[in-house]
């Protein structure tokens, strides 16, 4: 059996831009008469080939990249649409079961919003909120617990069997779960029976598994450096666009055709993703495919955090990145479901259309402004600085959301959070830079496992805290999310300081050599 330590060497950022060959962006060096016979790559023990600088060289973006975007888009469209449809369907069912004939939320154009906190109507409304929060907890456990194990298995095994089979499994599982939801709503099954469909979606990995395997596929066809960072950001844009479109349409679908037809439309779109996944070409090249056993592959996931196995990244850096992601995920997932309940509650009492449009705005601004400015930001500042600014943007948004009392304040929340989507892809890229090509699947498998654990813990604790505090301070949970994001900001600051110190040491060493 091969040694389980990671021995791959990565070309560093100072190497020239890659030339595309076959299905992978290969690193190379441009030589001239003044170039030394012994290149930097040779001294670094990295196989860097001379670039062909002839006019016939063309940069070709691999087909995989064009198909990966639609797959991720469809997965997030399905997830966003399903989440909002189920959240509001369950709210309506609970409301009707607990207080027949009363209307607290979102079924008509004119909403009855109870402001008097001592009235029986207001107290009844808060009871519906608490029951809906509890249901969100059960739903998170039903999908999140199996997803932890499926993500560990699928993403790591993709280093052995390739990316395509597991991308297909995740999309197919999402389609089956969505179709079952449509059937359950049509037949008016008990809302707790629908949790079985959540389990199906989690067992096949869900959108998190497809995303983590997608990031490994991106690493297969890009080189370490800004090109990979930008490619990861593009995939994150596809993620956001899917969530944006799904959020925008869900309200209109619910209002126009009802819950069942809306879910059927979501299932139909997901079916298109299954077809696209069938034609997705494999990205993992045979020379980078590992032949370890499945158990060895899973064990390799943890080596990043137990040994200094990376040629360019120390163990503590992987821990710092992982913890920064952990606290970012806790905040991002914690608000799932809570924001919808928050907006359905007094003093907002929004309709499905308004909830959908606000979610679209909250998702779209970070994409259009934040992600759109990623390339210009890279030209004038480092990745760590961009990540720090992004966390500060989200902290400000969470604090204001906790204190919001009207729609104007909620709109300001969306605008000041415009950079909040950047830290997560930045941290993913930093971790990928420190990892050898044949271990990208193991790296992202570990990240996906943490993402799923945070999805479960964040949603469960967030909804539990919201249910316990909705009577006396309904925005308390958003202050908690601001605290989580603040911890992530501090960790990125530590990584930034370390990167500056390393550059300073490298400059001093170069000066002494000269």
Contact between residue 10 and residue 312 where contact means Cβ atoms under 8 Å apart? yes
Residues 403, 476: Cα–Cα separation, whole Å: 9
Q: How far is CA 336 from the centre of its chain?
A: 13
Looking at the structure, tell me whether residues 199 and 328 fall in a common domain. Answer: no
pTM for this prediction = 0.70
3-state secondary structure of 285: coil
Looking at the structure, tell me whether residues 403 and 503 fall in a common domain. Answer: yes
Dump the DSSP string for 252-308: HHHHHHHHHHHHHHHHHHHHHHHHHHHTPPP---GGG-----HHHHHHHHHHHHHS-
Looking at the structure, tell me whether residues 139 and 273 fall in a common domain. Answer: yes
In terms of residue numbers, what domain contains 341?
312-513
Counting the structural domains of the chain, the total is 2
Sign, Cα dihedral of 487, 493, 499, 501: negative
Q: Which residue has the tokens 């060895």?
A: 296
Residue 15 is assigned to a structural domain of this protein: no
Residue 32 is assigned to a structural domain of this protein: no
Looking at the structure, tell me whether residues 345 and 255 fall in a common domain. Answer: no
Q: Tell which wins on pLDDT, 320 or 215.
A: 320
Does residue 328 carry a pLDDT above 60?
yes
pLDDT at 452: 84
> What digits encode the pLDDT tens for the residues 160-207?
888 899 999 999 999 999 999 999 999 999 999 999 999 999 999 998
Looking at the structure, tell me whether residues 338 and 435 fall in a common domain. Answer: yes
Residue 498 is assigned to a structural domain of this protein: yes
Residue 355 is assigned to a structural domain of this protein: yes
- Angle value at C-alpha 489, between 443 and 497, nearest 5 degrees: 80
Residues 188, 182: Cα–Cα separation, whole Å: 10
Residues 80, 421: Cα–Cα separation, whole Å: 16
3-state secondary structure of 29: strand
* Average pLDDT score over the chain: 80
pLDDT at 126: 79
Residue 25 is assigned to a structural domain of this protein: no
Q: Picking from 4-8, 126-130, 420-424, which range would have the lowest pLDDT averaged per residue?
A: 4-8
pLDDT-based confidence at residue 289 (cuts at 50, 70, 90): low
Q: Which CATH number does the domain housing residue 387 bear? A: 1.20.1250.20
Spell out the long-range contacts of 32-41 with Cβ–Cβ below 8 A and sequence spacing 24 or more.
40/14, 40/15, 41/11, 41/15
Looking at the structure, tell me whether residues 331 and 470 fall in a common domain. Answer: yes
Looking at the structure, tell me whether residues 358 and 422 fall in a common domain. Answer: yes
Looking at the structure, tell me whether residues 378 and 449 fall in a common domain. Answer: yes
| Bridge partners (DSSP) listed for residue 26 | 19
Residue 84 is assigned to a structural domain of this protein: yes
Looking at the structure, tell me whether residues 278 and 316 fall in a common domain. Answer: no
Contact between residue 151 and residue 208 where contact means Cβ atoms under 8 Å apart? yes
Closest C-alpha to 90, from 57, 148, 42, 133: 133
Does residue 30 carry a pLDDT above 60?
no
Residue 299 is assigned to a structural domain of this protein: no
Looking at the structure, tell me whether residues 193 and 332 fall in a common domain. Answer: no
Looking at the structure, tell me whether residues 378 and 270 fall in a common domain. Answer: no
Contact between residue 327 and residue 126 where contact means Cβ atoms under 8 Å apart? no
């Amino acid at each position: 059996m091969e040694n389980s330590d990671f021995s791959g060497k990565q070309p560093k950022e100072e190497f020239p831009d890659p030339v595309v060959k076959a299905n992978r962006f290969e690193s190379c060096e441009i030589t001239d008469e003044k170039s030394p016979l012994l290149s930097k790559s040779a001294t670094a023990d990295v196989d860097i080939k001379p670039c062909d600088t002839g006019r016939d060289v063309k940069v070709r973006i691999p087909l995989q990249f064009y198909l990966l975007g639609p797959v991720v888009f469809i997965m997030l469209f399905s997830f966003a649409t399903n989440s909002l449809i189920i959240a509001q369907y369950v709210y309506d069912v609970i409301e009707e079961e607990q207080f027949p004939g009363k209307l607290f939320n979102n079924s008509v154009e004119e909403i009855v919003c109870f402001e008097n906190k001592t009235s029986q109507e207001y107290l009844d409304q808060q009871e519906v909120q608490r029951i809906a929060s509890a249901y969100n907890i059960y739903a998170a456990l039903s999908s999140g617990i199996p997803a932890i194990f499926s993500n560990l298995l699928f993403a790591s095994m993709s280093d052995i069997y390739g990316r395509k089979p597991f991308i297909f499994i995740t999309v197919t599982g999402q389609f089956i779960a969505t179709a079952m939801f449509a059937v359950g709503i049509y037949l008016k099954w008990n809302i707790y029976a629908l949790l079985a469909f959540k389990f199906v979606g989690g067992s096949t990995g869900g959108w998190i598994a497809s995303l983590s395997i997608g990031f490994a596929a991106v690493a297969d066809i890009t080189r370490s450096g800004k090109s990979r960072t930008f490619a990861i950001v593009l995939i994150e844009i596809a993620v956001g666009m899917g969530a944006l479109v799904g959020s925008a349409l869900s309200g209109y679908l619910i209002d126009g055709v009802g819950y069942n037809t809306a879910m059927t439309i979501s299932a139909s779109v997901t079916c298109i993703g299954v077809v696209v996944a069938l034609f997705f070409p494999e990205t993992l090249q045979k020379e980078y495919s590992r032949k370890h056993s499945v158990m060895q592959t899973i064990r390799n996931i943890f080596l990043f955090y137990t040994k200094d196995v990376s040629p360019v990244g120390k163990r503590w850096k992987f821990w710092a990145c992982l913890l920064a992601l952990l606290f970012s995920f806790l905040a991002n997932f914690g608000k799932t479901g809570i924001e919808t309940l928050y907006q359905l509650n007094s003093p907002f009492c929004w309709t499905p259309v308004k909830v959908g449009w606000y979610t679209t705005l909250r998702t779209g601004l970070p994409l259009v402004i934040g992600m759109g400015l990623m390339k210009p930001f890279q030209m004038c500042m480092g990745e760590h600085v961009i990540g720090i600014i992004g966390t500060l943007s989200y902290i400000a948004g969470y604090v204001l959301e906790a204190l919001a009392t009207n729609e104007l304040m909620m709109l300001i929340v969306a605008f000041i959070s415009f950079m909040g989507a950047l830290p997560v892809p930045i941290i993913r890229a930093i971790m990928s830079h420190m990892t050898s090509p044949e271990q990208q699947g193991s790296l992202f498998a570990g990240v996906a496992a943490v993402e799923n654990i945070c999805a479960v813990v964040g949603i469960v604790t967030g909804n539990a805290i919201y249910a316990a505090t909705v009577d006396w301070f309904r925005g308390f949970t958003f202050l908690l999310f601001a605290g989580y994001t603040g911890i992530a900001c501090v960790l990125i600051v530590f990584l930034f300081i370390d990167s500056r110190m390393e550059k300073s040491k490298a400059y001093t060493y170069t000066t002494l050599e000269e």
